[in-house]
Amino acid sequence: MAADHTSAPVLEALADHRREGRLSFTPPGHKQARGADPAVREVLGDAVFLGDVLASGGLDDRLTRGRVVQRAQELMADAVHAEHTFFSTCGSSLSVKAAMLAVAGPHQKLLIGRDAHKSVVSGLILSGIEPVWVEPRWDAERHIAHPPSATDFEQAFAAHPDAKGALITSPTPYGACADLRAVAEVCHRRSLPLIVDEAWGAHLPFHPALPSWAMDAGADICVTSIHKMGSGLEQGSVFHLRGDLVEPKLLGMRADLLGTTSPSVLILAGLDGWRRQMALRGEEIMGGALELAAETRAAVEDIDGMRVDGRGDYCGPGLAHDFDPLPGVVDLAGLGITGFQAADWLREHRKVDAHLNDHRRIGMQITHGDDRRTTGELLAALKDLARAAPGLPPAPRVEVPPPAGLRMAQARLPRDAFFGPTEDVPVSRAAGRIAAEMITPYPPGIPAVLPGERLTEPVLRYLTTGLAAGMHLPDPSDPELGTVRVMARDAE
């Protein structure tokens, strides 16, 4: 029987809950806004509190006999051609950890693209999985990483035949996409599963002009952040499953191990509503977003000193397989300013927030939530930035090493380095020592340093010069990077 995508089980149950006027003697303690602070109610509005109910014993009964969330998950799976879907209200950071734990265990190997998000590294620390790093495709001219190729994974499996599977990130936050079908075939020839961190690809299933998404490309597990490129609330994530290489009950158990016992119905409702919106009108909605993005990209190209990274920049031999135009990555090298400077100027002077920012680029993400008014304001702000750029202080130089200089040896398991004896040493004396912490330029959140890697001078210089130029490093124990946490000498 065909799925009824006009239905939204979570939203409908929430409407029933309100209409019935249920009186709750359960959490949450604000009791449908009545106990919330008036100033909070004024800012957030009562609708937030009215939608904040228990998932079981509130939205559904105590035994979840209405199968409200389960039905919503089944509809989501149908919409993206998956066999099973799991909702997460803890973001894709939880979802990707659950996927990893369903494929490999402590001291077992997992092939992972080195351009993975810090949540993947957190999963390694928690699980004790041994990473086998697969190098991204580095563009040395533009200083940007693209996903590894199928050949790269083939070679890694040949060197590590005992690996339990593979994990790849596609799309990247910059919009570069892997040849997922070819990577999946490499895994499946060995009867091993492929996990795709598709956090930036929630929109991909809903328009034929967009790159292929993981489930259609044959991946086994796909993790997607609905809040990034979709209409979900922050922390709204789903992970999908296909095939028989990972047992659904096992994946569910791993997710239950990490997830909250108090899922946010507000976030679940956002996931459910996004699926209905896209299943019914996705191609129309995403088609409009693609047209708007194309117009905006062309207009930015007309601004002196700015150019927009495109398919020709990212795709080709030795680079990415496909390209998503919606991240809208603007190269500022022609203006002689950094993305850090640009992001700060736009926020301060034009009240415009950029997404990505690095030593030469900003990312101005276009989604189906934009229109010609918002993109018009963006273009006006970017033109003002171009006029203001000559008056900005000289751009601090970020010493970005060549691709080979960014790679450091994994001397210890991330878990062993993170939890072992440590000491803090001055950054000037950290080269040669084994890192005991992550150091991650954010956004996009891809660690430059992992626990267990042997630190090198080029990477440390990249981070210290980046910090001086405005790079954000949220996770080291010393945010100013005067010191670095390393393994104690007697533990190396």
Query: Any idea which of 280-284, 368-372, 488-492 has the lowest mean pLDDT?
Result: 488-492
Please report the pLDDT score of residue 403 as a whole number: 79
Mean pLDDT within 209-218: 96
Assess if residue 350 is contained within a domain: yes
Assess if residue 155 is contained within a domain: yes
Please report the pLDDT score of residue 210 as a whole number: 97
476, 451 Cβ separation under 8 angstroms: no
Residue 386 shares a structural domain with residue 448: no
Assess if residue 1 is contained within a domain: no
CB atoms within 10 A of CB 333: 15
State the SS3 of 453-477: EECCHHHHHHHHHHHHHCCCCCCCC
The CA-atom distances, in angstroms, between 115 and each of 99, 168, 183, 387, 445 are: 17, 8, 16, 35, 9
Residue 240 shares a structural domain with residue 367: no
The proportion of the chain whose per-residue pLDDT surpasses 70, expressed as a percent, equals 100
Residue 267 shares a structural domain with residue 326: no
Assess if residue 3 is contained within a domain: no
DSSP letters for 158-185: HH-TT---EEEE-S-TTSEE--HHHHHH
Residue 357 shares a structural domain with residue 378: yes
Residue 165 shares a structural domain with residue 183: yes
Q: How many domains does the chain have?
A: 3
The pairs formed by 457-464 with CB atoms below 8 angstroms and a separation of 24 or more are: 457/431, 458/399, 458/401, 458/405, 458/406, 459/401, 459/405, 459/406, 459/408, 460/427, 460/430, 460/431, 460/484, 461/399, 461/401, 462/398, 462/399, 462/400, 462/401, 462/406, 463/439, 464/427
- Residue 357 pLDDT grade (very low, low, confident, very high; cuts 50, 70, 90): very high
Q: What are the tens digits of pLDDT across the range 253-263? A: 999 999 988 99
Tokens read off for 157: 């499996």
Q: What are the tens digits of pLDDT across the range 393-442? A: 998 899 988 878 888 999 999 999 999 999 999 999 999 999 999 999 98
- Residue 478 pLDDT grade (very low, low, confident, very high; cuts 50, 70, 90): very high
The neighbouring-strand residues paired with 109 are 130
Assess if residue 384 is contained within a domain: yes
Q: What are the tens digits of pLDDT across the range 220-251? A: 999 999 999 999 999 999 999 999 999 999 99
Mean pLDDT within 457-468: 96
SS3 42: helix
Name the domain boundary from 391, 423, 438: 391
The neighbouring-strand residues paired with 32 are none
**What CATH number is attached to the domain comprising 229?**
3.40.640.10
Residue 29 shares a structural domain with residue 130: yes
**What CATH number is attached to the domain comprising 448?**
3.90.100.10
Please report the pLDDT score of residue 253 as a whole number: 95
Alpha helices in 334-438 (DSSP H): 339-350, 372-388, 403-406, 414-419
Q: Report angle CA 221, 223, 224 to the nearest 5 degrees.
A: 140
Residue 248 shares a structural domain with residue 126: yes
Residue 357 shares a structural domain with residue 431: no
Dihedrals phi, psi of 192, to nearest 5 degrees: -120, 150
Fill in the amino acid letter for 155: Q
Name the domain boundary from 391, 419, 436: 391
Mean pLDDT of the chain: 95
Of 202, 245, 182, 249, nearest in space to 76 by CA:
202
SS3 492: coil
**What CATH number is attached to the domain comprising 343?**
3.90.1150.10
The CA-atom distances, in angstroms, between 282 and each of 34, 205, 231 are: 38, 9, 12
Assess if residue 2 is contained within a domain: no
- Residue 350 pLDDT grade (very low, low, confident, very high; cuts 50, 70, 90): very high
Residue 136 shares a structural domain with residue 192: yes
Name the domain boundary from 391, 420, 449: 391
Residue 129 shares a structural domain with residue 245: yes
352 is in which domain, residue-wise?
A: 283-391
Please report the pLDDT score of residue 492 as a whole number: 77
Assess if residue 256 is contained within a domain: yes
Q: What are the tens digits of pLDDT across the range 92-113? A: 999 999 999 999 999 999 999 9
Assess if residue 97 is contained within a domain: yes
pLDDT at residue 140 is higher than 90: no
